[in-house]
Structure 1
Amino acid sequence: MKIETLPESVPLTDALARPVRARRYAPAIGIAILVLAGAGGYAFSHRDAAAPSQAAAPGDAAKKDKEPVHELSQRDVAVVEARALAVTLPLSGSLSPLAQATVKSKASGVILASGVQEGVEVKAGQTIARLDDAEARARVAQQQAMLADADARLALAKKNVANSAALLKQNYIAQNAYDTTANAVDLAQAAVDSAKAQLDLARIALADTVIRAPLSGVISKRHAQAGEKLSPDSPVYTIVDLKHLTLDAQVPASDIPRVKVGQDVQFKVDGFDGRTFVGKVARINPATEAGSRAMIVYISVDNPDGLLRAGMFAKGTVTTEKSSAHPLLPLGAVRRQDGRDVVYRVDGGKVVVQPVTLGLRNEDEGLVEALDGVDAGAVVLALKLDGIKPGSPVKLPDLVNQKKG
């Protein structure tokens, strides 16, 4: 039997205790090793997965921070244009001729001719009817004879006064006799003057048998036919002047202070394919119409081509205010921000706030003039759009880009 001896440097108690200690801590050490190995494996296995995740994080943040570009439609924007802006007031009424006349007979007699029909244009002084003038001619002849008799009596009276003057000079007659012959001359002269006046009246009566148009215009009505007998003041024709018309328009009394003489008027009449006619305020009736709170405004209308007719109904507007040319903004584009008027202008593909100074406003057209802040050609947001604020990137429609170019 071989007997082994322990080294001297190792005590016997330590040698006996080492196996026991090793057996006691072996399970704990094994568990620790397994935990460390698992953690290392987990870290190693997730190292590559974390790297792509960390690499993608900056791109995701940039994508998240980048604001989308808003594409605008044609109705969302407006290109500012510069022109005059007018404020108008609506009105309506009927057209009537500025001048019209009912031609009446001044003499009595039977109508020999009245060939002018309704709708025919006539000139001032043109013959439109003739009366039987036989009786009028007879009166003229009678007055001419009476004038000749009065002239003869005057000539005789003048000879008598000349003879009386010679006799008075030689003292053959008395002063009273001379005065009597001189008075006879005065009476004869008065008779001549009276006969001339009667002859003039007869000639006027003869001229009145020819009925003439008192003004240029169009025959609107014929009251008598050939063969009818007329008495003085009997109507024969009605003539209207269509070259100059008047639009009698009703305007509410509350709006009358805005209407002034000389203001421009534009109106349309049914049947003329939307053609616009013009006129000017000529006068204003000082009283309201019975049964209404409206006043009549009389508008002068030139109608050189004669297209408009009396009695036609017209609807239009009177320009109560008018400005010089300024950039015009849609009313929907104006916003109130920090106590001032602003618009959102598109500049360089982004929305910027632009303060503006406003002027005349037209609610009917939906426009307001910009006295300062924007120029013609600028592009502004015409509406208040959700999600678009100053600094937002936007894309204009192609039509707007072409208009700007």
Structure 2
Amino acid sequence: MHMRKSTLVFVLCAGLTACESEAEREREQRREVQAKSSVAPDGSIHLTPGQVRTNNIQTSAAAEEDVAPGISVPGRVKPRAGGESGVFAPFAGRLVADAAQVPRPGSEVREGQLLGEVEQIFPASERLQIRATSIQLQTGIDQARQEVDLSQKELDRARQLYEGGAIPLKQLQTAEFNVRQAQSKLEGTEHSKAEYDAAAVQQSEQRRTAIRAPIAGTVVSVDLVGGQQVDPAKSLLTIVDTSTLWIELAVPESNLPQIRRTASAEISAPSNPGRIYTGRLVNVGATVDPQNRTVPVIFSVANGDKGLRLDMYVEGRIATGPPQKTTIVPASAVVSEQGISSVFVETEPGVFRRRIVTAGARQAGNIVILSGLKPGEKVVSLGAQALNSETLKSLIPAGEEGERR
């Protein structure tokens, strides 16, 4: 009996201990959630110096600069007029080219660089025609010789008759004239055949002509293999001069009055955001795209660093007025969600507050802030997305967060 009581007491104690341990674990989980949630009731985010370092949070002061108002529009990289050239064979034939001589797509070529040779070979039908004409000319020579022989015999007979007094002198002279005429015809026929045969020999021989690069630039397409049959209507290579390219910007027709006096634009590519190219106005299109109601506006850009590539997507910023004092922040400082832009302002060391702003155009890696921020205020320039995630996490109830763990 005493043993059963002792066992019962032990089981009850163990159960109480297990319950207390489970409750303690739940309290510990809540404390962990509360400790990790650094968002205060007023919405500000409080981080310790260690948390700032761990999350690599960096700040910079909003700057004030003279920035011209403008519009930002999308565009594409195109070859300039006269900066693209196809390479064609001068006549049909067989291509003669060393594999090491044929350039590859992306390689650079010089103007006049030898790319290969095309070898012209006359078809059998043309060679048969040449032979038939030669035989015809030879037949004419044979006939002319027969006429010479016949006229010579007539002359010999006329001389005998004249010496015998049977014919007058005039008839003898006629026979002599006929001989000279027949000989002249024979000589002419022989000369014509000799000239034709010489030309036919030269024409029927294989003729090679060099194929050279018409311009200097980058090879963008190649359809050139040694030994292939080529046609003068088919392009063998396409070369583009990429040192200067055209940027075709799609400007909404409603913005045309604003850019009427523009002469330049700032061009940037998302693939290389730190590089800004200066474009010089070439032409404003005369037609409107009926689909998106935009007008093509072309700018010429020097591409010495080869950072721009054909058909690359770019963004162009065209000034629409004189420079004005404007607040700017790094583009990485602006967080955009559902059409709302915001920045995280450091109100005191380690304390950050989300602030909604009105963002304007991009400006050389920065974004213009039209309202909501003053010059000199510190904003998070690196790590804004991490703070935004922390803000969103604070909207989840602590119990739900603990259950997810």
TM-score after normalising by structure 1: 0.43
Name which one, 1 or 2, has greater alpha-carbon Rg. Answer: 1
TM-score after normalising by structure 2: 0.43
